[in-house]
Each structure stands twice: as C-alpha cells, then as structure tokens.
A and B are shown apart, each in its own frame.
Chain A
Amino acid sequence: MPKKAVVMMTLFLLILVEIAIAVPKTKPPKPDKPRKEITFTESASLGLGNINLGQQMIDAGILYVQDAISTGTISSGDSPISGFEILTSLSGALDLSTYLGSYDGKWIIIGQSGGFEGSIVGEVAVATISGKFVGQGTGDFEDHKIKGTFEGSVNNFQIEITIQATISYTEK
C-alpha cells in the first residue's frame, strides 16, 4: 500500500473518532419544573328547578336513574373555582329498602375563561351523598389537574355539598 494512502486512511479514521466523541450518546434529562398545589374547601348548591332526573325505573326494589342532570353554583370564596357554574350528569342505583346506593358520571365547572371537567364516583345513604372526583383543566386552566372529595345532604329539595379539592399545576 502506498504511504500516501496509509496517511489518508489514518486521517479519515481520526476524523470518525472525533465525531463519535463529539456527539453525546444521550441528552441529559431536563430538570422537572416543580408542580405547585393549591388545596381548598368550597361549598356548592344544586337547586330545585335545575335538576332533571332523566330516565328512571324501579325494578325489584332498586331505583335506577340514568343521566340525571343538574346545575348549580360554587359559592363565592377565595379559591380558584369560586363563583364557577357546576354541571353534573350522573347515573346510578338506589336500594329502596335500605336507601343505600351508588352512582358515577361526569362533571364540569365553568368560569369566565376556563374551567375543569372530569369524572365522579360516589355513594348515597338516605339523604346524604358523598364521593370523589378527578379532572383536568380547560382554557386558562390548561395543564391543571384537580382531584378531591365531597359530601353533602338534601334539604328541602336543595342539595348542598362541601368540596375538598387540590389543584396541581406547573408554574410557567
């Protein structure tokens, strides 16, 4: 092999090695921005006239309710969802001999420029209700997540609930 060719080959191999060293094998992971959390307690009322219990059927002592819908408002406090409108669509069953039942469904809370929507699951015992919910933000609350629990009662055809919730989000 001519000497010139050997020198060229060596140079070429050196360049390859340089490139291999210069290109990192994996990118270092970006540090996660810390998620912030806001925990609060709110109350909401779902009133008579804003409830439609939809399709219902009693079979073998069990009351089945499908797509019961209701609207109401979250009271004006100082939480991120104060004053928002709340809408729910629920389906469930209630044992008429024990007045115990369960339900699940969807919910949405709407403010001026955004809100939250998600799912809900809960129980009914005589004239009290309880449950838990999860959801995610829309509009101004994009990337926000909410989860929480609630409990309430039915008095004079008015459903009053107390919500304990946590909103988590990444600070921009």
Chain B
Amino acid sequence: MTKKPSKYIAPIGLILSGFGLLVSTLHGFGGFSTQAFGSYVITDYVSKPQMVFLIFVGLGLVLSGVGYVNQVKGQSIQMKNPNFILLLYLATSLVFFATAIFGLTSQLKGTDFWEGTTFERIQSTLFFNNLSLTCFLALGTMQVISSIIFFKPKMLEQHQLSNIARNLTLASGILLIIKTIIDYPLIKESIFIFSYMLKIPFPNTIIGITAPLIYLSAQITSSTILLYTKNPQ
C-alpha cells in the first residue's frame, strides 16, 4: 500500500510565499513606499515586519518545492528530475532566510527601530541592500526557470489553466529581474531624476508593487492547478 501524497502542501507553500512577498513589500521591503505615488520620494525603510514576512516567503518556497516533488513523483515521465525544482526552491528560500536573519540580527542605519547612524551600521546597511536585491533576482530567476519546467508533467500540462499559470510565472520572473536591475544603486537614482524631469510616476514604485502582485497571481493559479489535478495513484 502506497501512501497518498498530500495535495495541499505545494499550494499552501505557493500561496504563502506569494502573500509573504506582497505583505513584506507593502511594509516597505525593496524600497516600496505608497508616498511615492503622490510625490517624488525614495525611502530605504526597513522594519521587523518586513523580515518576518520574508521568513514566510522562505517557508512557502520550501513547502512548494517539497509538495511539488511529492505530487509529481511517478508521474513525471516528461520531467527527468523533479528534484531540480526542489533544489531551485530551496536555494531561493535560503536567500530569503539569510536576508531576514541578517536584517533581524544586524543594526541597520536610519530605520524606525534601528535608531541612529553610526559607521558600524553603514556596512551592514550596504550588505543588507545587496541581500535585498539578491532576493528579487533569485526569485525572478526561479520564476523564469519554473515557467519552463514546472508545468512539464503531463498532469499539470493538460490543465486548462496551465498556459495562464505559465505566462504569469514567466511575467512575474521577468518583472522581478527588471526590478532588480532598475533598483541597482545609481541606476535607481538616475531613473528617479528622469521620471521627475519627464513628469511621469516613478517606475520603480510601480514595478515594485506590480511584480509581487503578478507573483501572487502566478502562485494562486499554479496552486489551483496543483489542487485540481488528479493525484498519482
């Protein structure tokens, strides 16, 4: 008698990571600020809730990877090694865990609960900044690769939402990579000044919120496919 794999692990993980990223962004992760919609402002606000939700993103990715492999195992004739997805998700989750742990344990400059600016905090802040960018780059890369191999198993490929999920996954990956590029120091500031000159909204703010929203949509669609697909017997 074989144990029936749970249908719920991967969908819960996907949705957890989607909501985790969105809520963390709304709390200011990645430099997002609602204030920037009304005026030309850049903030580098960092807070504890951001870090907590980053841990949820990491946990969600671990669950997604484990659940996915359990669900498609034995059915993946078209997919030579489903463990690759697991490794991809685990590697990405590590970046999120590292960023959250570093953010919670290091003293960073000019934030709401890490007060003051000392030189000891400068290097931590710069390192945290680079870790944040790595999070978006890793997640974006993971999504682009996922859009190619995640839906390979026949049971997922045949689902009617498969194409939508694949496109959303790819779109979120591309947006997250674009966000990483345009948020790079000095590139971000150049875009900031140009957007002011051209009297257009600051693109980084728009992509900053659009990318997590598309990512969440992709996760919801993918989890729907995983939920409403016949389990391998």
Q: A residues touching B (Cβ–Cβ < 8 Å)?
A: 48-59, 63, 66-67, 69, 71, 87, 89, 96, 106, 108, 117, 157
Contact = CB atoms under 8 A, between A and B. Distances in A.
B189 interface: yes
Contacts of A56: 41-42, 189, 192
A96 B196 contact: yes
Nearest to B45: A55
B193 A57 contact: no
B178 to A, nearest CB: 18
4 smallest beta-carbon distances between A and B, as pairs = A58-B40, A56-B42, A51-B185, A157-B186
Interface in B103-119: 109-110, 117, 119
Interface in B52-99: none
Interface stretch (B123-131, B155-163, B217-225): B123-131
| Chain B interface residue bracket vs A | 20 to 34
B180 to A, nearest CB: 12
B146 to A, nearest CB: 27
A95 to B, nearest CB: 12
Contacts of A54: 44, 109-110
B197 A96 contact: yes
Nearest to B118: A89
Contacts of B130: 49
Contacts of A49: 130, 184-185
B123 A71 contact: yes
A60 B119 CA distance: 32
Nearest to A55: B43
A96 B192 CA distance: 12
B117 A67 contact: yes
Contact of B187 (A67, A96, A157): A157
Given A52-B185, A55-B110, 4 more contacts: A53-B189, A69-B122, A157-B186, A157-B187
17 contacts: A48-B184, A50-B126, A51-B185, A51-B186, A52-B44, A53-B185, A54-B109, A56-B192, A57-B40, A58-B39, A66-B110, A69-B125, A87-B119, A89-B109, A89-B122, A108-B119, A117-B119
A48 B130 CA distance: 11
B124 to A, nearest CB: 10
